[in-house]
Amino acid sequence: MDMKNIGKWSYLAGLVVAIVAALASFSAPWLGSLIGVLAVIAGLFYMDSSEVTNYGIRFIGLLAVATALNSFPVVGPYVTTIAKAMLGFFAPTVLTVFLVFNYKQAMDWMKK
């Protein structure tokens, strides 16, 4: 199994764990660490650091509408819970992609 597949599966697993834990109102001391580790692995091996701007815009967009989703009747609280769980997973993923992008930029600058 190559690193791209490991990153892809950690991305999927992290999203599923975050959403299911949020919907079930489950919290444990190790859960945040697990989601964080899965997010960093996904950010390192699955996400393309050249698209850092797109990931940032998607994150900010989801952040902006996450609380507004609560106003939908009946399903609003569930949709808000899912959006906030996704944000909890995406934050370390986007941060990792941002750091990888900056590292690559610095290495390119050092070569010049």
SS3 label, residue 1: coil
**Phi and psi based region of residue 26 (left: phi greater than 0; alpha: psi -120 to 50; beta: remaining):** beta
Domain boundary assignment for the chain: 3-111
Report the predicted TM-score, pTM, of the whole model to 2 decimal places: 0.88
Query: What is residue 55's predicted lDDT score, i.e. its pLDDT?
Result: 92
Query: What is residue 82's predicted lDDT score, i.e. its pLDDT?
Result: 92
Query: What is residue 2's predicted lDDT score, i.e. its pLDDT?
Result: 87
Query: What is residue 95's predicted lDDT score, i.e. its pLDDT?
Result: 95
Write out residues in the chain with pLDDT < 50, as ranges: none
CB count in 10 Å sphere of residue 51: 13
d(CA 25, CA 46): 28
Query: What is residue 30's predicted lDDT score, i.e. its pLDDT?
Result: 94
